[in-house]
Copies of this chain bind each other. A is one copy, B any other.
Amino acid sequence: MDTKQRILDEALTLFSEKGYANVFVADIAKRVGIKAPSLYKHYKNKQAIFDAIIEEMNRRFLEEAGALQISGDDAVADAEIYKHISEEQLITLGKDLFLYFLHDDYTRRFRKMLTIEQFHDKKLAAAYMKQYVDDPLSYQGMLLGLMASAGVLQTENVEIMTLHFYAPIYMLLTICDREPEREEEALKTMEAHIRQFNKLYARDEKPSQDNKKRLRRNTK
C-alpha cells in the first residue's frame, strides 16, 4: 500500500479509537513510520486527512449499496427462493449481516468514528443513519416483504415486521461495539431472537382469526 493510503488507514484507526481532536498529526505519522512534516507532502493538513477518509467511506458505502441493490434485484427475479426459506436460513441471514457489520475492519472503524464524531457535523450523523438504520431497514424490508408476498411470513405491516427483525440486531451490534467480550452472548441472543421472530410471523398451520382475515384478503 502506498504512503498516501497508509496515512488514511492509520488515521482511520486512530480517529475511530480516540476521536479526531485527540489524535495528533505526529501520532498518525509515527504509525506510518514517518515524521509529522513528511505527512504534509501527502495531505494539505489534518482536516484534509479526515475529509479523505469520509470521502472513501462514502465511496465504499455507495459500492456496497449498489451491490446490495443488485442482489436485491436478483432477489426479486428469484422470488421463488423466498417461498421456501427455512428458519435456519433466516438465522444465517441475520448472523451474516451481524458478523459482517461487526467484523469487517473498515465498516467497524468507520462506524466507531461516526459514532464519536456524529454530533460535530450533521452530515456525519446523516451518514450513520443511512448506513446503519435506513438502508438496512429498506433492504431487509424488501426481503421480508418478498417473503410476506410469497406467503412464508404474514403481517399487516411489513415496516413494523422489519423493525422487529432489525432493531434487535442493531441493538446487539451497538452492544458489541462497546463491549466486544459480549459477542458470543450476543450471537446466542440473536439466534433466539430470529427463532422467536420466525415463530411469531411464520404462517400458522392453524390460522388465528387475524390470519384468516389476511388469507381472505390475499386470495382476492
Contact = CB atoms under 8 A, between A and B. Distances in A.
Contact of A120 (B18, B125, B193, B210): B18
A203 to B, nearest CB: 11
Contacts of A168: 163-164, 167
Of A16, A125, A171, chain B has the most CB atoms within 10 Å of the CB of A171
Contact of A116 (B119, B171, B206): B119
Q: Which one of A128, A160, A166, A199 has the highest number of Cβ atoms from chain B below 10 Å of its Cβ? A: A160
Interface string A144-188: 000000000001010111011011101100110011000000000
A19 B21 contact: yes
A133 B173 CA distance: 12
Interface residues of A, number: 47
A5 interface: no
Q: Is the interface of A mostly helix, strand, loop or mixed?
A: helix
B112 A119 contact: yes
A72 B174 CA distance: 27
Nearest to A114: B178
Nearest to A182: B129
B171 A125 contact: no
Contacts of A115: 115, 118-119
A19 B199 contact: no
Interface of A: 16-19, 21-22, 112, 115-116, 118-120, 125-126, 128-129, 133, 155, 157, 159-161, 163-164, 166-168, 170-171, 174-175, 178-179, 189, 192-193, 196-197, 199-201, 204-206, 208-210
Given A157-B192, A206-B209, 15 more contacts: A17-B119, A19-B19, A19-B120, A21-B22, A112-B119, A115-B115, A126-B179, A129-B175, A129-B178, A157-B196, A159-B189, A160-B196, A163-B193, A166-B171, A200-B200
